Amino acid sequence: MKNSKGGIYRRFVKRPMDFMLSLIAIIVLSPVLLLVAILVRTKLGSPVLFKQKRPGLNEDIFMMYKFRTMTDEKDDKGELLPDSVRLTKFGMLLRSTSLDELPELFNILKGDMSIIGPRPLLVQYLPLYNEHQKRRHEVRPGLSGLAQVSGRNAICWEDKFNLDVKYVDSVSFVNDWKIIFSTIKKVFVREGINSETAATMEYFKGSKVGDNK
């Protein structure tokens, strides 16, 4: 459970730290943001940004921003082709280097997200969570988190949610910075970008019966 020091950090330090770090990152990385935006526009077309509603703190919905990594190719029926087809080599490069996540810095600046926390997932997953898994929304979602440095998309949903809740119960300055440094290492090594069975992470369909820790 949260200790007193962790509670003080979470209430009074974490948000100001997020604001300052995201502002500094946006300023320092502005040439990279501009370059990636130009490349996305050139290689994938418009829009440059992928925007999608995601649940945040206390399940409040916000609009999350990422660089686009897929085409809008559709079949004869007008339905989008599978992710594996629409995800280009350029898009895979953006994902493997996590460059597609950079616009989320603006979400952090606004207060929708945190530098570290459980990743913001799809709104349609909300009714599928059990009581244990719902606890991941007790903190702001993060640009990176404990689950991401522990396997990212290469681990199963249940393990990922358990790590999210473990993070919620152990929020601290030290733990956040450990995850930040581990994230930087993971990005350079490019580990766990995709799941073992799909180009992107499979959709969550609910936990198995009895899996309600």
pLDDT at 191: 61
pLDDT of residue 5: 63
Residue 140: predicted pLDDT: 98
Q: What pLDDT does 194 receive?
A: 47
Residues of the chain with pLDDT under 50: 1-2, 193-198, 210
**What is the reported pLDDT for 151?**
75
As a whole number of angstroms, the distance between CA 33 and CA 103 comes to 8
Counts for the chain of helices (H) and strands (E), in that order: 10, 4
Exposure string of 177-194, with b = 16+ CB inside 10 Å and e = fewer, is eebeeebeebbeeeebbb
Run of H or E residues at 5: helix 4-8
Measured CA to CA, the distance from residue 39 to residue 168 in angstroms comes to 37
pLDDT recorded at residue 188: 78
Task: Say if residues 199 and 84 touch (Cβ distance below 8 Å).
Answer: yes
